[in-house]
Structure 1
Amino acid sequence: MAGHGPLRRRPPRHRPDRLPAAAGKHRPPPRGGRPRGLPQHHRHRAPPRRRARRHSRHAAPAVAFIEANAHHDIDLAHVAAAPFVTPRAVQHAFRRHLDTTPLAYLRRVRLDCAHRDLLAADPATTTVTEIAARWGFTHPGHFAAHYRDAYRAAPSTTLNARPGPRGPLAGLLPSPSTSCSWRRGTAAAAVQGPQD
């Protein structure tokens, strides 16, 4: 391109049907009340109230899935598959309605189930590590730290503080299990909220 001068831009073409309203023609207000300056995608956004209900529909099945499968090895993809949404959508729903993340909620459910098992276990035959491993905590130190944060006591203290199922109280105490009935439905009910 040697010998040619600098490239020049063409002036924009003005189409008479796209002139601004100040050019002499009065345009009627748009249908639906949407100002003409907003991008196209704003026209189809759901109102905030409907969006909140949609996210609560995502959180409720995920909460039920976590509570029913806390004893299995599950991750965020499994939790998101329950309400048939993306992992990001289920994270957003948990943040908005439960003020936590799905995996933090799963950890809390597992901690509560481990706590119930520690209270019901016999310290002579059961160890804290066994109960922690039963509920998916593979690192005993991490389990002890999370447990101490939640219950303000060491798991070994809880295990040794209350006698296991012996003597006349043996039938009254819950037995350790692989499925914990951790406040079933309470978080799901909180997510659902009042029906409109």
Structure 2
Amino acid sequence: MSIDLVIAWALRLGLALLFVAAAWHKLSDRPRFEAAIRAYELLPMRGATSASWLLPACEGAIALALLVPAWQRHAAGAAVALLLLYTAAIAINLARGRRRIDCGCFPSRSATPISGALVARNGGLIAAACLLLLPVRTRPLLWIDALTLITTLVTLSLLWGATQRLVRTGPALRGLGGLR
């Protein structure tokens, strides 16, 4: 089983943009990100400080590595590992009944509480990264491939924005009694 070159590029660029945005957010307000890490109560205090520097550095490195075709599989493996780490941290706290923790994922005007929707979202991202572990079928690129790539990235960006909005809106509606 293999994936088409254009699909590989779309996944690599989409995930690279995602990881760059996540790293930028975390580094631009590192104290807030460190507080989010502490709220998960999975690391000692010093570990949270180190993690607040290490995690965005890993995200940035993964983003850069995704842009190099020869490093695709290694970058995809690192992306899967990091996303599994984030998903496990969320799932552990959900299992503990601690739902009022800011996920610390991306910037927003208000905190985005952890939820099952974040676990599902991360599952989709893990699946996308896993596709990049497959061999890529090489072929000559045509003009239509560039159009397909641009359209795919715009569509993925719109879907990401809608997903983020739904993830933030669900807990707010639940708090108002709109979702049970």
With the length of structure 1 as denominator, give the TM-score of the two structures: 0.24
Q: Which has the higher contact order (CA 8 A, sep 6+)?
A: 2
Where is the helix percentage greater, Structure 1 or Structure 2?
Answer: 2
